[in-house]
Amino acid sequence: MSQQDQIVVRLREMILDGELAPGQRLREVALAQRLQVSRTPVRRALRILEGEGLLAGGATRGCEVRAFTLGDMAGAIEVRGALEGYAARKLAMRGLSDAEQACLEECLETGERLLRKGMLVNADAQVFAAMNVRFHDAIVRAAGNQALSHAVALNECLPFAAAGAVALKLDTSQARAHQFALIRAAQAQHRDIVQALLRRQAARAEALMREHAGLSIDNMKLVMAARPTAPAAHGPDESPVAHDGCATPT
């Protein structure tokens, strides 16, 4: 994992954990000092997080952490599932090209390599995220519908709606076990989706993509439950996710 990837993952965790709070303005210099890195990778990481909808940018005042709830994230992920489900249906009806099949099978092999390790380390978060982006983008792109691709891109500007906005809590053995189980389930769903596409089972491919989005919601619930600063008085759909900090959306 590159230094920039590490910074993205760390800042994402800080937002989820409440170390960076909703409305908190982020300064590159302060973050660079806090993370003991130079300003350039911090600046790039903030742009990535701005694109993920975690930060709100400003031309002159910098960026700040956006306030959002588990309900906000779940709603955006559900919409992504509906859009990608439609893409899978269209692709299954047309059939995969050799290049499209090869791309999806390469993603499956990456997932298998992670699972063969038998455990997760911090570097695996970005490996899985990059593979997940390739897998989902390949299906949407192969559907051949520009309006659909545009709708997916717009939805990805909402917090944690993007396929690459992966949050893994690996700070305890129990958390690592839970996350490994979720990645194993995601890999099984990826395999089922590819099989449905190869067999041109349009309705099944669409249903599997929608179900796959539900797994992302389950993962966010797990991550949110592990937040050390989560207010006990609020339900998961009511309490803001972020707390103090300075931010940039992606």
pLDDT at 127 over 90: no
pLDDT value for 131: 94
pLDDT value for 9: 82
pLDDT value for 241: 47
pLDDT value for 76: 93
> What single-letter amino acid sits at 101?
Q
Query: Three-state SS for 64?
Result: strand
Among residues 70, 39, 61, 44, the alpha carbon closest in space to that of 158 is found at 70
What confidence category does residue 64 fall into, taking pLDDT thresholds of 50, 70 and 90? very high
Between residues 20 and 58, which one has the greater pLDDT? 20
Q: What is the tens place of the pLDDT at every residue in 66-112? A: 988 889 989 999 999 999 999 999 999 999 999 999 999 999 999 99
Between residues 231 and 22, which one has the greater pLDDT? 22
**How far is residue 97 CA from its own chain's centroid?**
27
pLDDT value for 155: 93
Q: What is the tens place of the pLDDT at every residue in 162-181? A: 888 776 666 667 777 877 88
> What single-letter amino acid sits at 94?
R
Query: Three-state SS for 133?
Result: helix
Between residues 98 and 156, which one has the greater pLDDT? 98
pLDDT at 62 over 80: no
* Residue 7 and residue 227 in contact, taking contact as beta carbons nearer than 8 Å: no
* Residue 143 and residue 100 in contact, taking contact as beta carbons nearer than 8 Å: no
Q: What is the tens place of the pLDDT at every residue in 219-231? A: 788 777 766 644 3
Q: What is the pTM of this model?
A: 0.80
| Pair type for strands 55-56 and 63-65 | antiparallel
What confidence category does residue 4 fall into, taking pLDDT thresholds of 50, 70 and 90? confident
Domains within the chain, CATH numbers bracketed: 3-65 (1.10.10.10), 70-225 (1.20.120.530)
